[in-house]
Chain A
Amino acid sequence: MNGSPVTMSHIVFIILSAIALVGALGVVLNRNLFRAALFLVLSFVAVAGFYILLEAEFLAMVQILVYVGAISILIIFAIMLSRRMMSSEFKAFNEQWAWALVAALALFAILAFVLLGVVWPTAEASVPENAISDLGQALVSPDQFVLVFEVASVLLLVALVGAVIIARER
């Protein structure tokens, strides 16, 4: 915002950032596992809002579909794997909090150093009209990302088969 007037997108950005940060803090500080997972949803939805702000609707929808959808699975596992989840007797901090604080501060310092040091390139051109079909073509055209795309799908297939083998009786 180097002297430029405050526009609507600045205001929306600030609101979304606030929501994302509140959500993230809620994840860390909440003593109830279920609620912490729900705060994670809040944070992810705010990030999807950022994508919409950047006119990347496809990415925003995938963000909601994949991450928010996965949260429900996460919650189910949390319920099944933890005892007495309904009570709020879980502590938000344990005896290792000092080490965690040091690690978090170090990570924050590194990220801040990098973010402040880089000159971010900004594209003048607006988002092309048919960005989605371009993306689809790019994922399957041989001179772009088809190899990465296929390797990723093979990886997922391996994970799926592995899960079936582990879960199978006999």
Chain B
Amino acid sequence: MDFILNFWTELGAWAQGVLYGWGLPEWAVNLISDFVGVLILLIIGVMAVLIFTPMERKVIARMQDRPGPNRVWPYGLLQALADAIKMLTKEDVTPRHADRALHMLGALIVAVPALLVYAVLPWGPNIIGKDLNVGVLFIVAIGSIHVLALLIAGWGANNKFSLLSAFRVVNQLLAYEIPMVLCILTVILFSRTMSTQGIVEAQTVPYFVSMPVAGLIFLICAMAEANRSPVDLLEADSEMVAGYMVEYSGMKFAMFFIAEYVNMFAAAILISTLFLGGWKFFGLEDLAPVLTPFIVFAKAVFVIFCMLWFRATFPRMRFDHLVGFAWKFLVPLSMVNLMLGALVVKLTPDGSGDIWAEAGLMLLGNLIVIAVTAVILNRAARKVKDAPALQRIVAVER
């Protein structure tokens, strides 16, 4: 029974035992197990495409009251596989005056930052690629490489739409990185560690319950970073065809497709790690450690479902509104939240018994922040509504 409950740990120990049994030295065993670990993480990342493409199309279809893909057996679930075969057989076109090397480079590295993030995402108490003590900062730093990859892709094609999109990439991703980092800081303040594993262990109360403001801001920012509709202004097809990937075709386009889903899955796991308690689920993780990866996966699927729900519900924003929303609304709000967090941490003395007091105070403060924000927004909206028609347009323009 114990073997089944601790299956993953036992499996790792057994595999290492086999390698030692072959008479390999310690460094070789470590090298091989690291290599296998990296391979598993990469496969999980790429499998995300096959899992979440059908899910996205089916969920959106149901929300829009249509059947969605239903031709490829069974229930349209193999549509992703059919799409993959189609992509592989398409011609690879490079525009005539493109910067060929950078055009290629963009497609090559676009999925890399997203896959790197998986190295620090925890799947269980002992199941993690590498528990860095700067784990969360690592994820934020990787984000800046992601910006560069999209910028290279947008520039390399020598197409005015993709270049415009490259400008938008830098504008949008950097704008949304700031409230995102401020929310992560609030989390770090309460967990007192930057390691992703430590953050999960510190969550007796999931942080989404104790600080919903940070959680919601982080969700919005993660969607903007992963370029999901309604904040997918980087590839808004009604404005700029397909943005930075407009000139990519065949397998190169498939790389961008993969990168998008890998990114979305990584963002979902990150949200469940930071705010939903990661591999913890009401003590289930102590009863049956074998279930922890499935707990993380279930939470990630729930987060992705919420993202799809947003996509089906809200229309796409206008670009200046989108950036203004980040700078004028999310940044001040997350700063208030961060200061509130610092105040709560200072008010409750350090100690093991005070986690509930800390969470309760933070929740109370968050509710006050939400109420005040609602009042302010209501007043601003009323001012726009009551203004004469011409002024109303001007007010919305600002």
Contacts and interface: CB of A to CB of B under 8 A. Distances in A.
Q: Does A associate with B in a complex? A: yes
A156 to B, nearest CB: 13
Contacts of B163: 79
Interface string A31-44: 01011001001000
- Chain B binding surface SS class: helix
Interface string B133-156: 110011011101101100110010
A159 B353 CA distance: 44
B225 to A, nearest CB: 13
A49 B151 CA distance: 23
Most buried by B among A34, A57, A61, A73: A61
Contacts of B101: 35
The bracket for how many chain A residues form the interface is 20 to 34
A61 B152 contact: no
Contacts of A64: 141-142, 144-145
B240 interface: no
B147 A61 contact: no
Interface string A68-104: 1101110110010000001000000000000000000
Contacts of B142: 64
A160 B144 CA distance: 21
B158 A69 contact: no
Interface residues on B, range: 20 to 34
Contact of B155 (A41, A73, A79, A132): A79
Given A34-B155, A132-B133, A69 B97 contact: no
B138 A72 contact: no
B133 A69 contact: no
B148 A65 contact: no
B155 A58 contact: no
A101 B380 CA distance: 61
Contact of B137 (A65, A69, A75): A65
B99 interface: yes
Contacts of A69: 144, 147, 174
Given A57-B134, A69-B144, A79-B155, 16 more contacts: A32-B99, A35-B102, A41-B148, A57-B132, A57-B133, A61-B140, A61-B141, A64-B142, A64-B144, A65-B144, A68-B144, A68-B145, A72-B147, A76-B166, A86-B97, A132-B133
Interface of B: 97, 99, 101-102, 132-134, 137-138, 140-142, 144-145, 147-148, 151-152, 155, 158, 163, 166-167, 170, 174, 192, 194
Interface of A: 32, 34-35, 38, 41, 57-58, 61-62, 64-65, 68-69, 71-73, 75-76, 79, 86, 132-133
11 contacts: A32-B99, A34-B102, A35-B101, A35-B102, A57-B133, A58-B134, A61-B138, A68-B141, A72-B147, A79-B155, A133-B192
